[in-house]
Amino acid sequence: MIWQITVALKRILVLVFIGTLMAAAYAQESQPGQQLSGLKTQSHPDPTPMTAMASIPFEFWIGSEKMPAGQYVLEIIVPSVAMLRRDDGKVQQELFTLDIGGPVAQKESRLIFVMRNDKFMLSEIWCVEGKRRLTSQNVLSSSDRAQAKVVSLSYP
């Protein structure tokens, strides 16, 4: 009997704790950028995506998707998600990325492609939003970097 009461009390405490966390998160969401328990929270990002253009003179791959050479538009939707599409709108691919470094100057912005299995794979994006690696790609080795192709990004 005491064991059952103890289990019931533990369940109630867990539910109260989860409810408190959810209420705090909801309250913080309604007031972004405010202090919560001594921690500075992140405010909502600018809803306008960062846009850049690239002229890619060779066919390449994003995961299992083959992309033709051409003029492309890159949009960073949120820091971990981008969209790469041909300027004619016929081909597009969503990109999921991981942060690997801080922002770079516009003149240093680029797409980095590495040779894997005789195919050029889009591996990294360096832009004014930061350096990002596609989640489908591994860390670049020195031999990968030696065979890499770099395409500059330009901004409107």
pLDDT in tens, 66-88: 999 999 999 999 989 999 999 99
Residue with structure tokens 């949009």?
75
Confidence band (pLDDT; 50, 70, 90) for 92? very high
pLDDT of residue 33 exceeding 60: no
pLDDT of residue 135 exceeding 70: yes
Question: What is the domain extent for residue 24?
Answer: 2-40
Mark whether 71 and 123 lie in a shared domain.
yes
pLDDT of residue 38 exceeding 60: no
Instruction: Give percent of the chain above pLDDT 90.
Output: 52
Mark whether 13 and 79 lie in a shared domain.
no
Whether 45 maps to a domain, the answer reads no
What DSSP element (H or E) covers 125?
A: strand 119-127
What integer pLDDT is reported at residue 36 of this predicted model? 46
Mean pLDDT, rounded, of the chain: 81
Mark whether 69 and 107 lie in a shared domain.
yes
- Spell out the alpha helix ranges (H) of 31-147: 142-146
